Amino acid sequence: MKYETIIGIEIHCELKTKTKMFSGAPTSFGEVANTCVNEIDLGHPGTLPCVNKEAVRLAILAATALKCEIDPLVKFDRKNYYYSDLPKGYQITQQFHPIGRGGVITIDTEQGKKDIRINRMHMEEDTAKQFHSDAGTLIDFNRAGTPLIEIVSEPDIRSGAEAAAYVEKLRSILYYLGVSDVKMEEGSMRCDVNVSIRPMGSDTFGTKTEVKNLNSISNVQKAIDAEVARQIEIVESGERVIQATRRYDETTKSTILMRKKEGNVDYKFFPDPNITPIRLDDAWIREIQENMEELPDERKARYQSSYGLNDYDADVLVANRELSNFFDEVVKYTENYKKAANWVIVEVVAALNKANIKVKDNPCKPQHLADMINMVDKGEISGKQAKVVFEEIMLGKDPKQVVEEKGMKQMSDTSALLEIITTVLDNNPQSIEDFKNGKDRAVGFLVGQVMKASKGQANPAMTNKLIQEELAKR
């Protein structure tokens, strides 16, 4: 029997704010445990939450980019449950009034483009982080209260590959907006997937399982593929899939049971009495939306329409916002867009990787790279010389100064070149004879002799042309 996979994804994404969702404590990653926390985060009696305006702004940006309908009434609710990582005994979230409803993300699949619908997007606070060992459990409250958005998809995803494409596309959008660091390895973006199977052609959902806390895009696909295979094996053996929460084990490449679910948990949601409903000003929402950063799809389209880049080059640039921003600065000073893309994608990236330098710390100035490209196009330096100049501009040097210091400026003066060419021809009569006998490689030899005589400064293309003209005269 053939089966259809049904997948829905819940993504928790930490917002890039300086302080927490409802307190003035700083947000952090990697700080000493329990040093970025205050009384509100710890749920001390008598403390009151205060909504972080910047978190709301970032949530509006995200909701707009996902084409959600924005609710101008901001209301928060209490989700009541007790875990040791939740000091208040409840989590402040948006159950009844999510800031965004509806929406869509378009992904690329082997069958073409596909729309994945967004059910809702809401704001909430993060929980503390627990560290389990045989000796007991340690808790770091630094993460408690960190602003989150939770983005819930509709069950429109049909494979692990589609799920990975969806998460990657969402990650890219939030990254470009500056809404979040989206560093899955640091937990600033976490992914839970709901997976079920059903006979192909059926319109009834099967029993779903939830795979929690996937920490990389590759693991999203691997976990789904493993869970689908497990469920198919259960069904084909005549047994029944049990609703449960599972995790992905990278070592065994399988999903492991965490806990069974007998039914939906009743969290006893009710409006948080300490946070007054906030009516957002329409003009403020419009201002946020009108000043949005260019999104990845828009940037790729611009690269292809304005600069004539192919799919591959545009994709590589757009995948790294800092690299893409650097390219945008380079093309302000040169019209050779293809060559600029090649230098940025290949040479700049290789040089930065070799020196272990991040793109944001790139010592090469965009105008310097553009000037070097223009010098090659004008015939002022050769492509071989450009490699030497590039090494220097990656140290922050001006290419014009480098060319001057190294005496690299290419000879493009016809009379000066002819003087050298005449001497070379006079000294190599055998090459002239070889050329007349149809041996084309003689021209290459003569060009090499001119380059040697000019200390590499002769314009190669012009030299080749002038040599052939002079040979024709002899």
We report the CATH number of the domain holding residue 432 as 1.10.10.410
Last residue of a domain, one of 382, 405, 428: 405
**SS3 state at 411:** strand
**Bridge partner residues of 114 (DSSP):** 107
Q: Does pTM top 0.75 for this prediction?
A: yes
- Domain region containing 226: 3-283
Query: Does residue 289 belong to any structural domain of this protein?
Result: no
Q: What is the number of domains present in the chain?
A: 3
Least reliable range by pLDDT among 229-243, 266-280, 345-359, 393-407: 393-407
Residues 93 and 239 in one domain: yes
Query: Does residue 288 belong to any structural domain of this protein?
Result: no
Hey, what are 458's tokens? 């002769």
Residues 218 and 303 in one domain: no
More confident residue, 352 or 408: 352
**SS3 state at 132:** strand
Residues 399 and 420 in one domain: no
Q: Are 270 and 77 in contact (CB under 8 A)?
A: yes
User: Look-up: residue for tokens 């998460």?
Assistant: 167
Question: CA–CA separation, 380 vs 459, rounded Å?
Answer: 8
Residues 72 and 220 in one domain: yes
Provide the percentage of residues in the chain whose pLDDT is more than 70: 99
pLDDT tens digits along 48-89: 999 999 999 999 999 999 999 999 999 999 999 888 898 899
- Which residues are CB-neighbours of 471 under 8 A, at least 6 positions away? 425, 432, 435, 436, 443, 446
- Which residues are CB-neighbours of 204 under 8 A, at least 6 positions away? 198
Residues 185 and 309 in one domain: no
Last residue of a domain, one of 251, 283, 315: 283
Query: Does residue 367 belong to any structural domain of this protein?
Result: yes
Residues 161 and 270 in one domain: yes
Query: Does residue 364 belong to any structural domain of this protein?
Result: yes
Query: Does residue 53 belong to any structural domain of this protein?
Result: yes
Residues 199 and 348 in one domain: no
- Cα–Cα distances (Å) from 439 to 155, 430, 436, in that order, read 69, 11, 7
Residues 183 and 236 in one domain: yes
Residues 335 and 461 in one domain: no
Query: Does residue 256 belong to any structural domain of this protein?
Result: yes
Last residue of a domain, one of 383, 405, 427: 405
- Per-residue pLDDT, 458: 80
What confidence tier does 264 reach under pLDDT thresholds 50, 70, 90? Answer: low
- Which residues are CB-neighbours of 452 under 8 A, at least 6 positions away? none
- Which residues are CB-neighbours of 391 under 8 A, at least 6 positions away? 351
Hey, what are 277's tokens? 């409903």
Question: CA–CA separation, 456 vs 187, rounded Å?
Answer: 54
Provide the percentage of residues in the chain whose pLDDT is more than 90: 75
Question: CA–CA separation, 224 vs 220, rounded Å?
Answer: 6
pLDDT tens digits along 9-22: 999 999 999 999 99
Residues 138 and 263 in one domain: yes
**SS3 state at 239:** coil
